[in-house]
């Protein structure tokens, strides 16, 4: 196999026609190289969570033509894959999970031999191996399974409007293989297009340019519309995303807007009205926004994450609609992913921190630019507290899972999605910023995004880039960048951004813990971040009188702000506070966001006879409403079969 000949002539001609100039072809489709070696051949570039062999055959483009079957809860149709091949390539290996393969043909419609390997029994699924016989394009006719992990099919009553069903996908980390047969590795970037048909009354949106926003009538399928999409930039396959339901749209600016169910649209538009200012601030920091539009989609409450940075169309949870913009840092985070994560992507899930650590740092800089330094400092200080709590939960500073670069072979890549990747990664970058100065760091980071645009990255690649383009003299060794990335714990030089405003809050925590007097709490004047600092800083053991005083004074059981409600309920459950039981039940039945749901069930199960029967009863009712990502975590905590 001659890797130098990876791009076969016909594939090169096809890509050249699609992408433009010969230079663009090299930039977009040439195999990523590290020090003259294919990134896929390097130790850090080999993806153990994919069956693909990109050194032999690599997917460069995916073309989907699918029917969204709401009755059967399946995506049914075809995926046509364009490939680049090594000189002696004989087969292409794709990732799949539960897919029903019906036919595989080449670009001329001739049948190709294929074999579905044994399913791993876990999230990795099974390899789909196709004998190429020289084919540089394969067309797969297939259907997803009704229980495809990436897809959540909601009944009308599970939506805000209650009239139409709803569908959404969540592909990260390796779930898109459950509805798209492709090489499901973040390092194998692919352009794509799609034609999706859905019933009348259902609007389809995807993470791409929307070519037919209102859909097209289909002559031979009365009662259905077809929606077409195109993504010309090569992206990581986990970023292919779809949603479909009763959706309305409102412009927020020249290149931004929000989709939501009609009853939620006005509230969403008000909450996100600063998005154009955020985009401008981000561009001033680190360069041009390269994805055209930046729209948001507010999903039903079953969505398992706070947000997902799907290109051109960020998916967000309705739990951030606090009514006062106090939780919009999440939007700043997803916007920042347009550079860190979407533009420059971790090559494998062992380096998830390359996506999230950079994004948390960038998010904080956007918040500082738009809302001021005090706000940014409070957010960073809360992040530090989250990191320290995660370090403790992982077993302390010696735990190998406190490393930035992880070894997740044989594990679910979701195991690496902890606050270590997010917050320790951001602290690492702040430590570098303080060492070299903000001006030099910003100049390097802006150029870093340009140099590595639309390419995968590894920790080793980042270190090489920093040593070549950022550090002077012995700065890299003085900071200890290898220690930060490859060793567990938290180095002594870690920069902890501390908020001056939290000093008064910490004083109030001490006073209330000692006296129980709510008069020492300046709740009405505090921001959401100060309130969170207070609730999370209170002793975990509190008497009923103090808990009642807090709840009755500040109406915490019915708090509209989801972060405040969550912090309060964790405290209430830890103290087996009966007056919060109804609030716990309503909260857990009203949403599926894993960040909130999983810790509350864990707290209930830790509360013995007070919490365990309660947890099982709620989970039996709530489980059908949750996405597979959420149930995959909670199932390990609440064993329904035991009771």
**507 by DSSP, 3-state: which?**
helix
334 is catalytic: yes
Sort 398 into a burial class: Cβ within 10 Å, 0-12 / 13-18 / 19+. exposed
Give the Cα separation of 115 and 90 in Å (integer). 14
Task: Please list, in sequence order, all residues whose beta carbon lies within 8 angstroms of the beta carbon of residue 297, skipping any fewer than 6 positions away.
Answer: 205, 243, 247, 258, 259, 260, 313, 314, 315, 316
Q: Which residues pair with 251 in a beta bridge?
A: 257
Radius of gyration (C-alpha) of the chain in whole angstroms: 25
DSSP secondary structure letters along 330-359: HHHHHHHTTTBTTTEEESSGGGHHHHHHHH
486 is catalytic: no
Q: Could you give the C-alpha distances from 405 to 22, 29, 485, 623, in angstroms and in order?
A: 35, 27, 6, 33
Structure tokens that stand for 203 in this block: 């609007």
Look at residues 282, 489, 583 and name the one whose alpha carbon lies nearest to residue 480: 489
**105 by DSSP, 3-state: which?**
strand
DSSP secondary structure letters along 58-100: EEEEEEEEEEEETTTTEEEEEEEEEEEE-TT--EEEEEESS-E
Sort 43 into a burial class: Cβ within 10 Å, 0-12 / 13-18 / 19+. exposed
Look at residues 391, 278, 264, 402 and name the one whose alpha carbon lies nearest to residue 328: 278
Helix axes of 373-393 and 425-436: crossing angle, nearest 10 degrees: 130
Give residue 67's Cα distance to chain centre. Answer: 25
**362 by DSSP, 3-state: which?**
helix
Residue whose tokens read 């595989």: 104
Helix, strand and coil content of the chain, in percent to the nearest 5, comes to 45, 20, 35
Give the Cα separation of 542 and 475 in Å (integer). 48
- The 10 Å Cβ neighbour count of residue 22 is 10
Give the Cα separation of 313 and 210 in Å (integer). 10
Q: Could you give the C-alpha distances from 452 to 46, 279, 440, 456, 465, in angstroms and in order?
A: 18, 20, 18, 8, 10
Of the listed 286, 289, 294, 422, which one is catalytic? Answer: 422
Look at residues 389, 382, 326, 387 and name the one whose alpha carbon lies nearest to residue 356: 387
Please, where are the H alpha helices in 302-410? 329-336, 352-371, 373-393
Residue whose tokens read 């959706």: 247
Q: Could you give the C-alpha distances from 99 to 103, 174, 191, in angstroms and in order?
A: 12, 14, 22
Contact 557, 579 (CB under 8 A): yes
Of the listed 233, 334, 363, 530, which one is catalytic? Answer: 334
Catalytic residues: 334, 422
């Amino acid at each position: 196999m001659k890797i130098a000949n990876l791009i076969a002539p016909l594939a090169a001609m096809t890509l050249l026609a699609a992408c433009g100039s010969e230079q663009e072809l090299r930039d977009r489709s040439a195999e990523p190289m590290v020090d003259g070696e294919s990134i896929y051949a390097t130790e850090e570039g080999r993806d153990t969570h994919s069956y693909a062999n990109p050194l032999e055959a690599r997917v460069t483009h995916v073309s989907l033509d699918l029917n969204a079957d709401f009755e059967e809860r399946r995506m049914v149709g075809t995926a046509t894959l364009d490939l680049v091949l090594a000189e002696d390539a004989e087969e292409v290996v794709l990732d799949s999970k539960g897919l029903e393969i019906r036919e595989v043909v080449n670009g001329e419609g001739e049948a190709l031999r294929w074999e579905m390997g044994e399913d791993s029994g876990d999230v990795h699924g099974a390899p789909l191996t196709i004998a190429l016989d020289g084919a540089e394009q394969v067309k797969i006719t297939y259907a997803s399974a009704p229980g495809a992990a990436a897809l959540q099919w909601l009944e009308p009553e599970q939506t805000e409007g209650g009239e139409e069903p709803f569908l959404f996908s969540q592909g990260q980390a390796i779930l898109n293989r459950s509805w798209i047969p492709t090489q499901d590795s973040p390092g194998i970037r692919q352009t794509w297009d799609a034609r999706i048909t859905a019933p009348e009354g259902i609007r389809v949106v995807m993470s791409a340019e929307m070519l037919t926003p209102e859909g097209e009538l289909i002559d031979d399928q009365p009662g259905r519309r077809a929606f077409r999409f195109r993504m010309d930039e090569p992206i990581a396959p986990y970023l292919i995303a779809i949603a479909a339901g009763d959706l309305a749209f409102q412009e927020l600016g020249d290149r931004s807007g929000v989709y939501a169910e009609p009853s939620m649209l006005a509230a969403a538009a008000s909450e996100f009205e600063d998005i154009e200012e955020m985009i401008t601030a981000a561009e001033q920091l680190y360069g041009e926004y390269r994805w055209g539009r930046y729209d948001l989609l507010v999903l039903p409450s079953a969505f398992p994450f706070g947000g997902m940075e799907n290109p051109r169309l960020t998916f967000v949870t309705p739990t951030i609609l606090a009514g006062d913009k106090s939780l919009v840092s999440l939007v700043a985070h997803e916007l920042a992913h347009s550079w860190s994560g979407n533009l420059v992507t971790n090559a494998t899930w062992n380096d998830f921190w390359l996506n999230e650590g950079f994004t948390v740092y960038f998010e904080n800089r956007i918040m500082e630019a738009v809302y001021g330094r005090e706000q940014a400092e409070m957010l960073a200080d809360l992040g530090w507290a989250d990191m320290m709590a995660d370090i403790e939960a992982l077993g302390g500073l010696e735990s190998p899972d406190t490393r930035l670069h992880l070894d997740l072979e044989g594990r679910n890549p979701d195991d690496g999605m902890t606050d270590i990747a997010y917050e320790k990664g951001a602290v690492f970058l702040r430590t570098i910023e303080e060492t070299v100065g903000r001006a030099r760091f910003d100049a390097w980071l802006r150029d870093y995004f340009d140099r590595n645009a639309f390419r995968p990255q590894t920790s080793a690649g980042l270190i090489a880039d920093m040593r070549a383009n950022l550090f002077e003299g012995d700065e890299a060794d003085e900071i200890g960048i290898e220690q930060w990335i490859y060793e567990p714990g938290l180095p002594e030089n870690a920069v902890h951004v501390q908020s001056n405003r939290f000093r008064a809050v910490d004083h109030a925590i001490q006073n209330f813990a000692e006296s129980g007097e709510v008069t020492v709490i300046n709740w009405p004047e505090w921001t959401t971040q100060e309130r969170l600092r207070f609730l999370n800083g209170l002793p975990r053991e509190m008497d009923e009188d103090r808990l009642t005083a807090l709840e009755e004074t500040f109406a915490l059981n019915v708090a509209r702000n989801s972060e405040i409600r969550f912090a309060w309920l964790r405290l209430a459950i830890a103290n087996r506070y009966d007056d919060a039981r109804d609030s716990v039940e309503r909260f857990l039945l009203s949403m599926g966001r894993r960040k909130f749901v999983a810790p509350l069930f864990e707290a209930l199960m830790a509360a013995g006879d007070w919490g365990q029967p309660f947890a099982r009863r709620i989970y039996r009712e709530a489980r059908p409403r949750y996405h597979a990502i959420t149930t995959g975590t909670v199932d390990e905590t609440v064993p329904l079969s035991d009771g």
